[in-house]
Each structure stands twice: as structure tokens, then as C-alpha cells.
Amino acid sequence: MPGSGTAQAKLKINGTDVDTEAVAMVMVEQDLDQADLCTATVKNTNDKKYTVDLNMGDTVEVAIAETGGGTAKPIFKGEIVGLEPCYEAGGETHVLLREEDRRRHVQGHLLGLRPDPQDHR
């Protein structure tokens, strides 16, 4: 029912839509003076084995749309910086993704906390 205040997260990895049935959870953290962060949990499906196919540095986009219709509005764009696969005996297999937007890399480089990815010395 439009206008009911419920929303649905739409997730893209490397430009490809993730089936909504595979998205278990998405959380986006946005702060004034820090890079945006995103945590998402995706479940393996018959068509896609996220626990095997995902890599550090893969791009992730999150958009939010009102449930039942409406245009999805982008709220996060970044890359995977952490992967935590979870294999449950007799249960669903899923992977927790940790993503950061590009500002985190720039801030870390400027502070000397991260090497410049362009520096191949």
C-alpha cells in the first residue's frame, strides 16, 4: 500500500541487481564527517553462490524504494572491504558484506593510514 511508510532495499553488486529474495539485511550508516558505511547480508540462491563469487573491491550500490511501487532512490555507493561467509549445518548459507564509500580510501591515504592504490613502487 503506497504511503504506508514501508520500504524495500534494492542492492546491486558490480552493476547487477541482487534478487530481493537473496537480500536478508541492509544497513547504511551516514555521518557528517566520516565516509558512509554499509553492511548487507545476502543468501546464496540456486542461481548465485555469493559466498564464492564475491571479492574484495566489488562495487555495491543500495537504493531504497517504497514497498509496492515508487522509484528507487540511491543512498549508498561503495566497494566491498570485508567478507564474512557463514556456512550453517543444514541451514542457509549466506555472506555478510562490509562496504565503504571511496571517501574512506581518500581519507586514509591523506592521513597515511592506507597506501595509495596507484603507488606500485
Spell out the domain ranges in the chain.
Answer: 7-110
Helices (H) and strands (E) counted in the chain, each on its own, are 2, 7
Q: How far apart, in Å, are the Cα atoms of 62 and each of 31, 65, 76, 80, 87?
A: 16, 10, 5, 13, 25
pTM of the model: 0.76
Q: What is the pLDDT of residue 104?
A: 56
User: What pLDDT is stored for residue 15 in this prediction?
Assistant: 96
Q: What does DSSP assign to residue 105?
A: H
Write down the pLDDT at residue 27: 94
Is there a contact between 61 and 45 (Cβ–Cβ < 8 Å)? no
Domain 7-110: CATH architecture, name and number where available = Roll (2.30)
Return averaged pLDDT per consecutive 10 residues of the chain, 121 residues in all: 70 94 93 88 91 94 84 92 90 90 58 49 40
pLDDT at 3: 54
Alpha-carbon distance of 113 to 106, in angstroms, equals 10
8 contacts 69 by C-beta, under 8 angstroms: no
